[in-house]
Amino acid sequence: MEIIKIFDTTLRDGEQSPGASMNTEEKIKLALQLERLGVDVMEAGFAAASPGDFEAISRISEVVQNSAICSLARAIPKDIERAAKALEKAKQKRIHTFIATSPIHMEFKLKMQPSEVIKRAVEAVSLARSLCEDVEFSCEDACRSDIGFLKEVALAVIEAGAKTLNLPDTVGYRLPQELGNIIKELKSCVGDLAVLSVHCHNDLGLAVANSLAGIQNGARQLECTINGLGERAGNTALEEVVMILKTRKDIFGNLDTRINTKEIYASSKLVADITGIRPQPNKAIVGKNAFAHESGIHQDGMLKNRETYEIMSASDVGIPQDNGLVLGKHSGRAAFKDKLASLGFIELTQDALDSAFEKFKVLCDKKKEVYDEDIRALLTEEVTKIPQVFELLALQISSDSNGVPYAAISIQKDGISRIDAAIGNGSVDAILKTIDRISGYNGVLKDYKVEAVSEGKDALAKVVVKAEFEQNKPAFIGHGLHLDTLQATAKAYIGALNSYLSMRSLIIK
């Protein structure tokens, strides 16, 4: 059996997807899930990009034991040194440095001659190698680079100490046969001197096909993300390439990965819950309809033999077969803890478990049926908490005699309750304005999403907001979970504010 390494970049490239930014606690939670999933390498961030990225990489390095932790770094000494510093506590560490090699990038972005690019690449890899045993080098926009120049760069960086050579289709331009030929050419040049890697973007919907073409022509590392998350049209979807290799053994023979496929669905759900970006219903492997059958002909075939219309089983990727009522208000802590373990929450602190159990009991009193997805949402909210500078105590929505809505809100800070009210153009606007008045921070709402967590009229509402608290500065995501959508909205907006304040404290430090 020959192993294809899975290099997951959900925490770095995936987070570059508009609206997908994560706070440090959310990144740690996702990193632990990626470890359970079995990824060989996880790119935890870009250490030099921000204090938040540096802290996330550092803390992930402390808690993850079985996957290599990687930081991206430009081919600049300060970036590489920052990456090495962030990775100090990692049991297995990798520095991933890069520079563009295509004519258009060298001329217009870098304004460098090819000889200068090679010199910079070699210097970067040499420095990284002096700080870290495992170094990966990427030729940015490799698939629009001159093949002769690619070979020259490849041999130079390998001699300087790079163990992995990544050849990304940065703009998703190539067709599978074209990309396969590029990998084949490079493989014939470098042989076994380094592991060849492919990192494909999905601008033409070909990321997965191109990645597979790379494997078939000698690549032995795949760079991908959960749900295909990523900037523009996204990246190669981890769940798709892994299940293709597993399902089509007739084509890929003895090639396999170390991925525990039964953790795929849990990983997909967690990424969707944290980012608020859900896969489309017909998304392969993890979409809501991926294993659904409505056609009468299909249903008849399924009843006779599932293999008539399913080439894999939902259970293979960890999709629960039964989403019925699982626990109730009379359930005890032991049963609750056991249920959490079955849902993948196996590393909870006692405080997190106690808090989640109390929320579960409150939910049971209010909700007719409690589903697995309700419990999963409660736990995701609990384990990704950031420091609560402001905390919602109470919310009341009403309207005056003219029907103009207003919100009265009580918020706690430093143990002191603060109460205020404001009118708005609608209930949501009134809530946000009131929170701004109480907190003293004026946010600008950039995005607002509401969805039902499970099924039924009494389903928990999950609200995701994206708000900007400083002009021309990054916006922050907040999550709110409640049976009442407006309560969830207030919690989500305060969550975004707390994320902003948490990040600002890192910058001040």
Binding residue positions: 13, 199, 201, 235
Point out which residues pair with 3 in neighbouring strands. Answer: 256
| Nearest C-alpha neighbor of 467 from the set 453, 447, 485, 437 | 447
The answer to whether the CB of 201 falls within 8 A of the CB of 207 is yes
**E runs forming strands in 101-241:** 135-140, 164-166, 195-199, 221-224
The answer to whether the CB of 497 falls within 8 A of the CB of 467 is yes
**E runs forming strands in 232-364:** 255-256
Radius of gyration of the chain (CA): 24
Binding residues for Mn(2+), as ranges, are: 13, 199, 201, 235
Number of neighbours of residue 159 by Cβ within 10 angstroms: 12
The answer to whether the CB of 224 falls within 8 A of the CB of 215 is no
Greatest distance between any 2 Cα atoms in the chain: 79
Point out which residues pair with 195 in neighbouring strands. Answer: 164
| Nearest C-alpha neighbor of 26 from the set 294, 397, 383 | 383
* DSSP single-letter state for residue 46: -
The pairing of strands 405-413 and 416-423 is: antiparallel
| Polymer length of the chain | 509
What residues have CB less than 8 Å from 274, skipping those under 6 apart?
22, 26, 29, 30, 380, 384, 479
Secondary structure of residue 72 in the 3-state scheme? strand
Percent helix, strand, coil in the chain, to 5, is: 45, 20, 35
Which residue type occupies 315?
A: S
The answer to whether the CB of 176 falls within 8 A of the CB of 206 is yes
Q: What is the sign, positive or negative, of the torsion defined by CA atoms of 122, 128, 133, 139?
A: negative
